[in-house]
Structure formats: structure tokens, C-alpha cells
Amino acid sequence: MGMLRRSLLHWYQAQGRTLPWRGETDPYRVWVSEIMLQQTQVKTVIPYYHRWLAAFPTVADLAQADRQQVLKLWEGLGYYARCRHLHEAAQIIVEQYRGIFPTDLEAVLKLPGIGRTTAGGILSAIANQPLAILDGNVKRVLARLTALPIPPARALGPLWELSSQLIDPNHGRDFNQAIMDLGATVCLPKQPLCLLCPWRSPCLAHTQNLQTQLPMREATTPLPHKNIGVAVIQNDQGQVLIDRRKDEGLLGGLWEFPGGKLEGDETVQACIMREIREELGIEIEVGEHLITLDHAYTHFRITLNVHYCRHLSGTPQPLESQEVRWVALEALRDYPFPKANGKIIDALLGGDR
């Protein structure tokens, strides 16, 4: 273990990445970076990180912020529950911890949106605590190091144990950063750069020439596909109707153009009319096609079939949402929308209507 630690830390001192949050002593900034980095690449996170801290420099600023402003700043980063949990946790820290991020592991784990890896990443970074982590990069490194004969998802217990044994008891901060950097820059998912790796000699995958076959993957099944009819409903003033999703769920709290899933052999037009009646309690006329979009989420993919629609009668009611609102076309960009809906806005504002 000692040799592995020393070789990795030596490599890190020479080859570690320079990142905006690295070396940061403000727990709030470290925490924000750790949440943004969950399931998102560093290059994507960096501009969001800078914009976020410009808008919310402290945990108190975030706690006091309006939820819609918070979601708007997160727009496009995905996995929006992370954003809602960040906001909720900021309010807890202000109310229960006088605005000071706790350094006790059990207290940190009780905060919304923080699991074992995120807690270990934060506390090792801000307090040099020797707490193990097991993100995607670390799983891949350890699976190759040990030539793990099963997919990592089926060996989380042993992998956690190994990560805990490996971490340097005196240099938790640097060790965790180093093993993440190793996975991100050398032990790549495809075509790992084994010649540059400080763990090349003890790595069983390299010794057995299995580095491109490991880690083992679960057998994949095709992603379920949902066909969605979407309505861009305009009134006589040229305003467009949007609704805000309930807070729970994949895109909770975001605004969207109303619609829903096609049922059976239903046409897109029939689907849109039915969904609008069920969701908003109004009658519409479905007009010409605006755009068709394909979008993939983690566990399913969707096709959005978008049509211009005209409001005929009835007052829109938020029957399956938090609220509904008529907004001017030029005001649409002020609201936080999912990425696919953002493309609908682009099509609307780029068109001649």
C-alpha cells in the first residue's frame, strides 16, 4: 500500500490538473464543485462553477435565493435534483449550522444530495480527512488495478474497502484528488495511457493485457423510447403558454411547453389535444408542425413532436403542474427550461412568427 500511495502522490505533484476549486479552502466552493461534478465532466462544469459563484458567492446568498433563479443558473447542466438539493442544503446549513459547512461526516451525510463519495471528496479537500471516495473514475482505476472479474456495480463493497485501505492517512486531500486525476487523464475508459501510469507495474489488468477489456460492463438493453406530443399554444396577444413541473422527479421545478406521451395508435395531433385538455383544462386547435427533436436521458430517450397551437376556449389550470403562465415570446429565455425545450425556444425565436 505504501508504494502505491507514494508513487501516485509523486505522479500527482508532477502531473495533477490545475482546476478552479483545487486548493480551495472555502467549504462552500468545494461543495458546489463536488455537486456539479457528479455525473458531469470537468470541462462542462468550469463555466457553470464560475457563473454560480458570481451569483451566489456564499452559502447565505444561495440560501436566500429564489428557486427559479437557482434553477436558471443550473439550466443545461442536467440532473436537476442536484440543484434542488444544493439549494435545500444551503438553507439547512444557514438555519442549523449558522452558515458554516459541518466537518463531521455523519452531519454531512444527512444533508440533501450528499452521499458517501461526495462527503469524502468535500471533507478530504477542506479538512484533509482520510475519507475514501468511489466515483466513476476511481471505480475504473481500482477495477483495472485488481483485474476485477465482474462489473464494478456488483462489487461495491470490496471496492469501497480497497479505496479505504489505499487512501493515505496523512494526505487524504491529495490522494483523493490524485486518484481522480489518474482516472480522468490516464486510466481512460477507452485506450488508457498505460505507459504514463504510475501504477502500471502493480496493475493486474496491464500485466494480463486486459486494460481495454476492463472494467467489465453489464449487458446493455436498448433504452426505452417515448414519443411525445408538445404544444406551443399561442393566444390572440401572441403570448405562449408554459407550465412549471412539480418539484419532484427528473426535471422538477423547470418550465416546459405542455404535452405528453402518445398512447396506442394515437396521432400526434390527437395526443396534443387530449393532453392539453387533461393537463390544462382548455380547448385548442393544433396547427402546423414546428420541430421534431430527439433527446436521450440516462434511462430512456424521447422524441418531441412540436406543433404550433391556437387557444380556443377555457382558462388554463395547473391540473398536473405547479403553475401555468402566458408569456411573451421574447421573455421565454428568462425561465429555466430543460435542454430539449430550449431547442424549441431557439426554433420559435428563429422562425418568422
Catalytic residues: 34
Strands 301-313 and 323-327: unpaired
